[in-house]
Amino acid sequence: MQTGPSAVTAHCLSPAKVNLCLRIVGRRADGYHLLDSIFAAIDFCDRIDVRVTDVRPDRDVRVQIRCDRRDVPSDATNLAARAASMLLAECGLGGDVDLSIAKRIPPGAGLGGGSSNAATVLNVMNEHLRLAVAPTRLHALALALGADVPFFLTGGCARVRGIGERIEPIRGWPGRALVIALPPVSVATSWAFRTYTAGLFPEADEALRMASQEAPDPSLLRNDLETVVLPNHPEIARLKASLVASGAAGAVMSGSGSAVVGLVTDGQSADAVASALRTRHPEAGIHVARILAANDIPSVDPTASYA
């Protein structure tokens, strides 16, 4: 039964994530790879304007989506659009949903932009429409949308295992600066996993060890997918090497790429590393970002307006 407002407008930011460690530890019978990874949400964000109107039972869900990038779906296949439809259907409701996405997180970068957009829509609509979907059920809906979506419901830092469903929040490193390097190339996640042949590492313990540390250890930065992505995209390999040459204590590809993350230790200047990297790679997008604490999701408009 609908008990909340029938219309809501909210303006929110949708953060990216980085993988500081990604080990492939197994494979399910259905072909999905099992991971042991360290996720960290960062203050490098898309903006989503959400407007929902005429919410009531016994009517269809109609979603209109607009995005400022042509390589992002603007139809029902968009994860954010699917999230809106799924959530209203879960509650036996229909309504008109209008989503406008200003992308800063490029697709095919391994930063989880589409997954974050979906989780943001789930959170915003559940909260502001007062749908009262329980966290465990919201997690299940998120997982049905994609492996990375559940993490973004809370963000922060976490050790993520399985195909993304086993999320163990860790204290993490809120406020720590990272350098994010974006080469002018995208990598399809499905291609990276399909092509990966380097093996399985059930004994891998880097993620476990990193999760207990007060500061991320550069020696534990590892991404097994680099074995397939870097040989096929040498520009990503060069960018990774240049991050270290520019002063980063260590560097690692995020997710299935193409973004590379530079770790800046205490006493180092992230801005200085970023400046040196821009000189070496003017073709790349170079950004300084900071790790967010759990549930610390920036907002451009923390209070929604209601009809």
Catalytic residues: 17, 148
Select from 264, 267, 277 the least CA-distant residue to 176: 264
Contacts of 250 (CB under 8 A, 6+ apart): 218, 219, 221, 244, 262, 263
Place of tokens 């976490």: 158
Helix (H) or strand (E) holding 236: helix 234-245
Element (H, E) at 94: strand 93-102
Structure tokens at 186: 């995208």
Q: Which residues contact 221 (CB under 8 A, 6 or more apart)?
A: 20, 21, 250, 251, 252, 261, 263
